[in-house]
Structure 1
Amino acid sequence: MKALVLSGGAGTRLRPITHTSAKQLVPVANKPVLFYGLESIAAAGIRDVGIIVAPDTADEIRAAVGDGTRFGLVVTYIPQHAPLGLAHAVLIAREFLGDDDFVMYLGDNFIVGGITDLVEEFRATRPAASILLTKVPDPRAFGVAELDVDGRVARLEEKPGNPRSDLALVGVYLFTPAVHEAVRSIEPSARGELEITDALQWLIDDRRPVTSTVVSGYWKDTGNVADMLEVNRSVLELLTPRNEGTVDAATEIIGRVRIGGGATVRGSRIVGPVIIGAGTVVENSYIGPSTSIAEDCRVTDSEIEYSIVLSGSSLHGVGRVEASLIGRNVQITPAPPIPAAHRLVLGDHSKVQISA
């Protein structure tokens, strides 16, 4: 069995972070989202992985992942010149996939607990395809599945205006080679993409077995800031405390806190779960729960909570920051003082009251 990991896409909902970085490499608990998926694939016993890359971010993905050795994988990179749909990704990966079964994994998705059980079940039963579903409050932003009275997949639709159910497709799909005929047989959708939902519907209409599993664990599409912060929180809840840095006696550490090598914490209060990267300096500050601070950052005379700070950034003298995603090499400081004054243009015989 092989894996096809999708790491293209512009990441428009995470701009401006993704103007300079691939969305799959934005870190959760100081580790790129993409790495969690690759680790799950390796844990499921899969070794051959094809990674779909876009022109703008291909070099960055290659530099981060390399040949896959660090994950116990053998990685092949497959260029996609434009984001033309998930089914298009399967189409251009045909040579790599051959006649093997495969799991398709969206590189910006996050599933707590991994995919090992799902892969083992698929290997045992081998339907034409197997999909993961989860209930969402607004299905219009997702591919949506409709089940029949017996719980079988009856219909799939991509981002419907009037969803027939609240069951959204999670970004992990399992396929036998039957899907190759399906992706060759469908036409681009109204938005110009080859939709994987249309390929799955083709399999259903051709009476090929398509099974589904409702995800019982935690799943998030990390395509926007709110979801990134929530995934970061959930990962930090499982954090193993460790201190590889230097913490002075004036610092108070409460709960699960991990401090990287070469990091320094002085005169501060850290309330976990918190992760502080290597080489970072925290001084006279408060770091609150669900916060990830990457390597080589500096936080002085500031407060921050429920946030992600990327490498090389600094906060100095800012009262409080929360629910924020701060990019690389950012500097946050107080605004310069502005004299309090009123500028007036008043007509004749005006009456104005100004607070002292």
Structure 2
Amino acid sequence: MKGLILCAGKGSRLYPFTYNRPKTLVPVANTPLLQLSIVKLMELGIDEVGIVIHPSQETSIREKFGEGQALGISISYIYQHESKGIAHAVKQAQAYISDEPFLLLLGDNLISASLSRLKNDVELNEAQASLLLAEVEVAQDYGIAEIQDERIVGIEEKPVNPKSQLAVLGAYAFTKDIFNAIDEIRPSKRGEYEITDAIQRLIDQQKIVSYHVTDQLNIDVGTMDRWLKANQKLLSSDVSMNRMHSSVRLENCTIVEPVSIDKDCVLKDCQIGPYVSIGEGSKLENCQIENSIILNGVYSKDLPFLLKNVIIGDHSIITSVQTDEGVNEP
């Protein structure tokens, strides 16, 4: 079985942080989202991974992961030149996948559930597809599965009148049959080739489409708020894990776990946490920070206020501003 991760999206809702960084390289607890997806596949023994990218993203992603040697896997890069939907992205990988079953992940999703049951469905249980589902509050924002007698009988992308609250998450297992199904669908009203339409085609052809419902963490890291939430949840997932690099220097600091502090950071007279990630090479002095993401190379000193629920960009400089006596602050 191979793995396939889709990474070609622009991440425009995370601007300005994704102007010069692919969305799937934004860090959660100081780990790029794409790396978290790769690890999910490696947990299942998958060591051949295709990554679908826009050509403009290749330099950044290849610089981080190369051909996968450092992780002990083989990574291949596949181009999607135009953003025409998930099914279109999957189609670009047909030659790479060939006749093998594969696990498909959306590279901007943080998924905690094990994917072993999806893998087993297509490898051992003769299913042509297997989906990870979860109950959601606003079904109109997702692809929604209709279930009857413990079988998926229908699936619809962002329905006006949803037939359930079970949403399709960003994890799927497929056999090669999905490629024929993609060939038979047309663009949706929003001009995209929807993976939900391709799955519906499998259902219409009486193919076996299995599913598993999870109540574990799944977050589409597509907005600032969800990025902060993902950071908080991942830090909380294993509070016993030491996420402070050995090169970090602390002087007179209070650390409120869970936090993640990357290499070569220097902190003095700070109170950090809970739920704070601080990127590589940052230098902070006399700061108080909670539930925030500080990216690489940030310099901050003598802040008279609490930094909370914020994301600070790479190499930002934040210091207090002294005002002349008698001049009112705005």
Q: Same fold (TM over 0.5)?
A: yes
Deviation above 4 Å: which 4+ runs of structure 1?
none
1:276 to 234, 250, 261: 261
TM-score (norm: length of structure 1): 0.87
**8 Å contact 2:7–2:52 — kept in the other structure?**
yes
**8 Å contact 1:40–1:116 — kept in the other structure?**
no
Query: Which amino acid in 1 is paired with 2:247?
Result: G
Give the deviation of 1:275 after TM superposition: 1.6
Are residues 1:51 and 2:51 paired? yes
Give the deviation of 1:140 after TM superposition: 2.1
Give distance in 2, aligned partners of 1:172 and 1:226. 22
- Equivalent runs, 1:207-218 vs 2, <5 Å: 207-218=206-217
Give distance in 2, aligned partners of 1:117 and 1:335. 56
**8 Å contact 2:101–2:122 — kept in the other structure?**
no
SS in 2 for 1:125: coil
**8 Å contact 1:53–1:78 — kept in the other structure?**
yes
> Which residue number in structure 1 is paired with residue 197 of structure 2?
198
SS in 1 for 2:267: strand
1:292 to 277, 282, 289: 277
> Which residue number in structure 2 is paired with residue 125 of structure 1?
125
Identity across aligned pairs (percent)?
36
Give the deviation of 1:43 after TM superposition: 1.4
Larger gyration radius, structure 1 or structure 2: 1
SS in 2 for 1:172: strand
> Which residue number in structure 2 is paired with residue 155 of structure 1?
154
Are residues 1:304 and 2:289 paired? yes
Give distance in 1, aligned partners of 2:329 and 2:286. 29
* TM-aligned CA distance change 1:218 to 1:94, over 3 Å: same
1:333 to 313, 319, 322: 319
**8 Å contact 2:267–2:283 — kept in the other structure?**
yes
Give distance in 1, aligned partners of 2:229 and 2:92. 33
Give distance in 2, aligned partners of 1:173 and 1:224. 23
**8 Å contact 1:44–1:116 — kept in the other structure?**
yes
CA RMSD in angstroms, aligned pairs only: 1.7
Gapped regions of structure 1 (runs ≥ 5): 243-257, 343-356
Are residues 1:61 and 2:61 paired? yes
Query: Which amino acid in 1 is paired with 2:96?
Result: F
> Which residue number in structure 2 is paired with residue 322 of structure 1?
308
* TM-aligned CA distance change 1:330 to 1:207, over 3 Å: same
Gapped regions of structure 2 (runs ≥ 5): none
Give the deviation of 1:288 after TM superposition: 1.5
2:246 to 229, 237, 261: 261
> Which residue number in structure 2 is paired with residue 248 of structure 1?
none
**8 Å contact 2:113–2:214 — kept in the other structure?**
no
Query: Which amino acid in 2 is paired with 1:294?
Result: G
**8 Å contact 2:53–2:77 — kept in the other structure?**
yes
Give distance in 2, aligned partners of 1:263 and 1:307. 18
CA-to-partner distance for each residue in 1:275-326, whole Å, 9 max, x for gaps? Answer: 2111111111110111111110011111101111111012222221111122
SS in 2 for 1:44: coil
SS in 1 for 2:55: coil
Corresponding pairs, count: 326
* TM-aligned CA distance change 1:165 to 1:334, over 3 Å: farther
> Which residue number in structure 1 is paired with residue 13 of structure 2?
13
Give the deviation of 1:270 after TM superposition: 0.9
> Which residue number in structure 1 is paired with residue 73 of structure 2?
73
Give the deviation of 1:261 after TM superposition: 2.8
> Which residue number in structure 2 is paired with residue 235 of structure 1?
234
Query: Which amino acid in 2 is paired with 1:137?
Result: E
**8 Å contact 1:42–1:71 — kept in the other structure?**
no
Give distance in 1, aligned partners of 2:319 and 2:158. 42
> Which residue number in structure 2 is paired with residue 247 of structure 1?
none
**8 Å contact 2:5–2:50 — kept in the other structure?**
yes
